[in-house]
Structures are given as C-alpha cells and as structure tokens.
Amino acid sequence: MKIIIVGRGEVGSSLSDALTEFDIHPWTMDIDDLTSAEIERIHPDAIINAAGKTDLKWCEENPRETFRCNIEAPVRLYQRITTHNSSSVKPIRFLHFSSGCIWDGPYDATGKPFTPLHPARPAVFYSWTKAAADQLLLAEDPTSVAILRPRQIYSARHTTRNTISKLITYPGLVTTPNSMTSMEVIIKTVRFCLVSKDNWNGVWNIYDPGVTTPFEVGKMLAEAGLRKMPAAIEKSELDAFHKPRRVDTVLYDDRFEKVIRPEPFEQVIKRTIAQFKSA
Ligand SMILES: NC(=O)c1ccc[n+]([C@@H]2O[C@H](COP(=O)([O-])OP(=O)(O)OC[C@H]3O[C@@H](n4cnc5c(N)ncnc54)[C@H](OP(=O)(O)O)[C@@H]3O)[C@@H](O)[C@H]2O)c1
C-alpha cells in the first residue's frame, strides 16, 4: 500500500519510522500543495494528515494561519480526495489527526468520560479549530475519513513535543484526572484503519485505558531518576498563570477498546519510561 503522510512533527515522523511495511511518501510541503494533480501522480491508497498548528499560545496569536492549517487546508484536501473517490475504482482513505482536547473536562456534566458521540466542548482557540475541522470533514463525507483523537501523546523519543519530556520539565504538576495516549497505540490504530476491510472510518478516541494525572506520571519519572519529585498543584493554581489554560480530558470509546484491544496505561507507561531512560 502507498501512503502519503502529511506533517513532519512528532506524530508524522513517528508514523513514517514505524510503518515500514508500507510504501511511505512523506509530504514535506504545505497541505495545500498536495493538489489533485499530485494526488493523481502519487496515486496513494491512503493519506494521513498529521500536520497542523499545535502550539496553543502561537495559535491564539496567529488565528488566521491556525484557521487555515487546522481547518481550511485539511477540509480542502479531503474535498480533493472525495472528488477523486467519486470517479475512481481505488478510493483513497483519509486519516485525520484531531485531538481529545476538544472536550474541556476532565469529565462530562454527569461525571462520565467523553465518547466519540459527545458534542465538542472546546476551551481554547486551538481546540475550537480541531473540533470545527472534525465537523466539517464529517459533513463533507463521513465514509472515507477516520478522525483520530489522541490525548497527551507519549513515547520513548527525546523530543520537546513528547508528553514525557514535558512532564520532566515542569516543576509542579496538576492532580486532575486525564487520559494519555502512547505512540504505540496510535500506530496500532493507524495500521488497523489502513488495512481493515470495514469498520475503519468515523471517529476514534485513542488512549491507553486507565486514568492518570500529570502528577502521578511525574512521580513515576522521579522514581525512575529522570526528574526531582514534582510539587502537586491544584488546577485552579495552574489556571491563574498558565495562558491559554490547560485542558483536562478523560476519554472512552467502546469500539476502540473492542477492536484495537489497547494495553492498560500502567503497563505501557512503565515500559515507555524504561525505554526513554535507556534511549
Ligand atoms: N502531540 C500531542 O500530544 C497531540 C495530542 C492530541 C492531538 N494531536 C494532534 O496530532 C497532530 C500531529 O501533532 P504533533 O504532535 O505531531 O504536532 P507537531 O509536532 O507540532 O507537528 C505538526 C507538524 O505540522 C506542520 N504543519 C503545520 N501547518 C502545516 C501546513 N499547513 N502544511 C504542512 N505542514 C504543516 C508543523 O510545521 P510547523 O512547525 O512549521 O508549523 C509541524 O511540523 C495534530 O493535528 C495535533 O493536533 C497531538
């Protein structure tokens, strides 16, 4: 299978490195440069969009470019894909990275985790752009797109975007419940969405089952000798100085748990911290 991966950041690079069984074509230019002519030339089986503006503060300060990159360009790309699909015997699948942070939780009004069916409840501009893109893609055509919503992605890579690297850096960490998503389970889900004959499209919440807090993970990192023991801080204390404010979200997805069979968080985080330490 021929796969175009758009976006050379944390997720795009990790996918390019991991999906070695496929013929990967990393797209290094702007999303908008992936024109219909380019799509016809490369003739992919699937396009993965892991591109977007992700720095929350930058997004607030540059709303127009954020709007273009996170909403307009992915929707325009999907329109080109659906046009191709309407006249082709080989339809292209579109895998689009959204985010679990479209919900400002950690839980819904009844105290339950957010499922793919919950209406979006964004707290900051970046989250609004992610939620809007999801709705527009689904309105365009829900059949050829998988919308993937991870939360606080972590891996053994020593990069600034890795959640483990971030939790090593901050002196104080909040004690609010959250989901976290290993790159391992993202790769497993992407593989499924690329090769499965059916049940691959629609919205997927992606996470390692089991609720944690940034403070708990900070303690594990301290026990592994990767940082000093963190100070526990309340969410209200963080909100007083952290702008745009941090979003906390706990995810659940029945289909994801049945079909992907993700490993519990406890196991994956322990293994990944050990790998991070020795990398
Ligand atoms: N990492 C997480 O914890 C996390 C959690 C939930 C969801 N996600 C989602 O997963 C996706 C990938 O995230 P990531 O962590 O890999 O982010 P990242 O490391 O910031 O990578 C995103 C990449 O996309 C590029 N980009 C931005 N606008 C583009 C455009 N118009 N055309 C082509 N490339 C463009 C960025 O380049 P510049 O740096 O030059 O802008 C950057 O290299 C995003 O949609 C994000 O919302 C990530």
Q: Write out pLDDT tens, residues 190-199.
A: 999 999 999 9
CA of 223 from ligand 1 middle (Å) equals 31
- Number of domains, the chain: 1
> What is the 163 CA–ligand 1 centroid distance (Å)?
14
Structure-token pair, residue 258:
């049945």
How does residue 239 score in pLDDT terms, banded at 50, 70 and 90?
confident
Question: What's the CA-to-centroid distance between 109 and ligand 1, angstroms?
Answer: 30
| pLDDT 10s digits, 199-213 | 999 999 999 999 999
Residue-level pLDDT at 245: 87
Residue 260: CATH number of its domain: 3.40.50.720
Range with the poorest average pLDDT among 74-88, 132-146, 169-183, 228-242 = 228-242
Owner of token pair 């939780």: 105
Q: Do residues 82 and 90 touch, judged by C-beta distance below 8 A?
A: no
3-state secondary structure of 258: helix
86-95 burial, b for 16+ CB within 10 Å, e for fewer?
Answer: eeeeeebbbb
Indicate if ligand 1 lies below 6 Å from the C-beta of 54. Answer: yes
54, 58, 61, 62 alpha-carbon torsion, rounded to 10°: -60
Can you tell me the mean pLDDT for 15-31?
A: 97
Record the pTM.
Answer: 0.98
Give me the domain span that covers residue 168.
Answer: 2-278
Q: Which numbered atom of ligand 1 lies nearest the CA of 12?
A: 16
Alpha-carbon distance of 195 to 25, in angstroms, equals 17
Phi/psi of residue 41, each to 5°?
-65, -45
